[in-house]
């Protein structure tokens, strides 16, 4: 999860990629490629995540035009995978940066595409958002912040 303190750091580091900010309470994102053996799992996720409510924005990272069309029709935003590892796996850091550039939200988080949620997730988000003094840290953001201070 990224809170507003770290969003400012990311925007400062990568302002050239800033897009129009859209406001949501929560943004959750994932990535996957089309696969016949994972169809049921992905279809369940496609239906489940938007059921969390209008204050939760769901985002899929993919370069598949088939998945882009399918998930856009289901109410998801779809962004391209632009940075991958040597094995072809999307790099989480760059997906986080793309999402934080596009969305202004209390919490932004990644979940594996086979994870399904209940409305308890939004209750947990609300608890985290309203609990004074609670801070969520992301290690790679702290490292980038330290590099800036050098």
| Residue 140 backbone dihedrals phi, psi, to 5 degrees | -70, -30
What is the rounded CA–CA span in Å between residue 18 and residue 100? Answer: 9
Tokens representing 52? Answer: 């969390």
The 10s digit of each residue's pLDDT in 43-102 is 999 999 999 988 899 999 999 999 999 999 999 999 999 999 999 999 999 999 999 889
Under the banding of pLDDT at 50, 70 and 90, the label for residue 25 is: confident
Considering only residues 130 and 102, tell me which one the structure prediction assigns the higher pLDDT. Answer: 102
What is the rounded CA–CA span in Å between residue 48 and residue 147? Answer: 39
The domain locations on the chain are 4-144
What is the rounded CA–CA span in Å between residue 93 and residue 144? Answer: 11
Tell me, what's the pLDDT at 135? Answer: 60
Provide the CA 87 distance to its chain's centre, in angstroms. Answer: 21
Of 76, 66, 65, 73, nearest to 113 by C-alpha is 76
Q: What is the pTM of this model?
A: 0.75
The percent of residues in the chain predicted with pLDDT above 90, rounded, is 48
Q: What is the mean pLDDT of residues 3-11?
A: 49
What is the rounded CA–CA span in Å between residue 41 and residue 44? Answer: 5
Half-sphere exposure (Cβ direction) of 16: Cα atoms closer than 13 Å: 1
Contacts of 6 (CB under 8 A, 6+ apart): 138, 141, 145
- Helices 4-13, 92-102: axis angle to 10 degrees equals 100
Contact 84, 54 (CB under 8 A): no
Distance between first and last Cα of the chain: 25
Q: What is the mean pLDDT of residues 132-138?
A: 61
Tell me, what's the pLDDT at 33? Answer: 83
User: Mean pLDDT, the chain, as a whole number?
Assistant: 80
């Amino acid at each position: 999860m990224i809170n507003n303190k770290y969003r400012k750091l990311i925007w400062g580091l990568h302002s050239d990629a800033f897009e129009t900010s859209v406001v949501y309470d929560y943004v959750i994102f994932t990535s996957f490629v089309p696969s016949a053996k994972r169809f049921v799992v992905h279809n369940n996720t496609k239906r489940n995540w938007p059921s969390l409510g209008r204050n939760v924005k769901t985002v899929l990272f993919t370069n598949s035009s088939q998945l882009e069309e399918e998930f856009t029709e289901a109410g998801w935003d779809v962004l391209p995978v632009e940075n991958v590892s040597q094995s072809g796996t999307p790099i989480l850091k760059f997906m986080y940066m793309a999402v934080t550039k596009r969305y202004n939200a209390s919490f932004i988080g990644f979940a594996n595409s086979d994870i399904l949620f209940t409305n308890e997730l939004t209750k947990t988000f609300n608890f985290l958002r309203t609990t004074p003094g609670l801070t969520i840290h992301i290690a790679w953001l702290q490292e980038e912040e330290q590099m800036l201070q050098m």
